[in-house]
Amino acid sequence: MPTERWETRLIHSEARVPAGFRSLATPVHRGSTTLFERAADAHEDWNHERHAYTYGLFGTPTTLELAARLAELEHGSHTFLTPGGQGAISLIWLALAKAGDHVLVSDSVYGPNRALATKVLTRLGVNPEFYPPTIGADIAGLIRPETTLVWCESPGSVTFEVQDVPAIAAAAHARGAVVALDNTWSAGVFFDAFAHGADVTMQALTKYVGGHSDLLLGSVTVRDEALYERIGSTLQFLGMAVSPDDCSLALRGMQTLAVRLRALEASTLRVARWLAERPEVERVLHPALPSCPGHELWLRDFTGSTSVFSIVFAERYAAEKILAFVDALELFEIGYSWGGVTSLAVPQFSIRRSTPAFRRNSIVRLNIGLEATEDLIADLEQAMRVLG
């Protein structure tokens, strides 16, 4: 072939770099098109154990490394990545629920998960029922012949009830139902979900694995091959692609996860215990404190605690006073999501529950960051003066 024109050289270059580069960072492999050696090899398959790489949507070495490391950390067999924690939740539902199914969902699940169940799953003919998070073995009484899935989140969002996952799983498994668990609070490490009976878990990697409030990513981890096949064959057609750049940030986050979690745990416990002594605070909802529903289950089943918890203000404070308290905070920023390095405060005045457990307009959720604990306590103390 004659020497190609420069336009062609731009696309098919013969420039070469030395081989043998090694570094400590996982390379960022971007790519939609995956190349095959021979025409006969070209096909699409989500399962990288059958065929390593067939299309960018199903993974590049960067995304597959993150997935494999998460499966290792959570003691699962395989992990799938999704564009966010809520994407992980919807992947589990769409893969496992079908028309005619009855599904049991903890009353304190993450709000958008509840909304997905009531607004989308119902449209697809699935019948969700919300059960009290502290139900334990009594869940057996709610399981019907058509119950296929029990969703747990322990501790729950906003109100932090710790669930008896082993008891719930035993009851579900006795009737052939699958147990899904949102394991975001424990970062997938402080609660060994599969050892406690879960079949499939998800995490918002957005929180602790990312750890710096700069990415949105989720994961779904399964116990066995049957769930791997069921979820993978659904994911193939949902088109939930993740960015290798975000995955490389998550891989970097994993390297410091242990030290961040231990520092956050210690600081958060000091702040929570300080708040528990304050007359303005009726109750602290932190799983490691006896005032939290299910605290004894946290002691039994968890190996640590993290940085997000709630406080219930005393009944005498009107909603406006509590909002003024949040506004008076100087170091705590106001915003959703958590697990990063910055302390956050968000009023949680309109939580939806089938069985209301806490007074409306009384809860503020806090996320403790990596600031000096003394400064955070001083900030909370000065802001409490506005309560009067």
Check binding of 216 to ligand PLP (CB under 6 A). yes
Backbone angles phi, psi at 56, to 5 degrees: -55, -35
Q: How many residues bind to ligand PLP according to rule CB under 6 A? A: 14
Query: Residue 324 belongs to what H/E stretch?
Result: helix 319-328
Check binding of 163 to ligand PLP (CB under 6 A). no
Q: Buried b / exposed e across 27-49, counting CB within 10 Å, b at 16+?
A: ebbeeeebeeeeeeeeeeebebe
Tokens of 82: 């999704």
In this complex, which beta carbon is closest to ligand PLP, that of residue 207 or of residue 295?
207
Stretch in the footprint of ligand PLP (CB under 6 A) among 53-61, 144-152, 202-210, 296-304: 202-210
The alpha helices in 207-318, defined as continuous H runs, are 225-238, 244-255, 257-276, 295-301
Check binding of 161 to ligand PLP (CB under 6 A). no
Amino acid at 252: R
- Residue 288 CB, shortest distance to ligand PLP, in Å, is 18
Check binding of 132 to ligand PLP (CB under 6 A). no
Give the x/- contact pattern for ligand PLP in 101-120, rule: CB under 6 A: ---------x----------
Stretch in the footprint of ligand PLP (CB under 6 A) among 2-10, 18-26, 82-90, 160-168: 82-90
In this complex, which beta carbon is closest to ligand PLP, that of residue 85 or of residue 384?
85
Query: Residue 202 belongs to what H/E stretch?
Result: strand 200-204
Check binding of 85 to ligand PLP (CB under 6 A). yes
3-state SS, 139-175, equals: HHHHCCCCEEEEEEECCCCCCCCCCCHHHHHHHHHHC
Q: Buried b / exposed e across 321-342, counting CB within 10 Å, b at 16+?
A: ebbebbebbebbeeeebbbbeb
Select from 70, 200, 204, 272 the one that contacts ligand PLP (CB under 6 A). Answer: 204
**What is the rounded distance in angstroms from the CA atom of residue 193 to the CA atom of residue 75?**
8
- Residue 118 CB, shortest distance to ligand PLP, in Å, is 16
- Residue 74 CB, shortest distance to ligand PLP, in Å, is 15
**What is the rounded distance in angstroms from the CA atom of residue 307 to the CA atom of residue 167?**
26
DSSP strand pairing (281-285 vs 308-313) = antiparallel
In this complex, which beta carbon is closest to ligand PLP, that of residue 182 or of residue 379?
182
SS3 state at 365: strand
3-state SS, 171-182, equals: HHHHCCCEEEEE
- Residue 107 CB, shortest distance to ligand PLP, in Å, is 14
Check binding of 157 to ligand PLP (CB under 6 A). yes
Check binding of 182 to ligand PLP (CB under 6 A). yes
In this complex, which beta carbon is closest to ligand PLP, that of residue 182 or of residue 301?
182
Closest residue to ligand PLP in the complex (CB)? 85
DSSP strand pairing (308-313 vs 344-347) = unpaired
In this complex, which beta carbon is closest to ligand PLP, that of residue 157 or of residue 267?
157
- Residue 219 CB, shortest distance to ligand PLP, in Å, is 10
In this complex, which beta carbon is closest to ligand PLP, that of residue 151 or of residue 317?
151
Which residues are near ligand PLP by CB under 6 A? 84-86, 110, 153, 157, 182, 184, 204, 206-207, 216, 218, 337
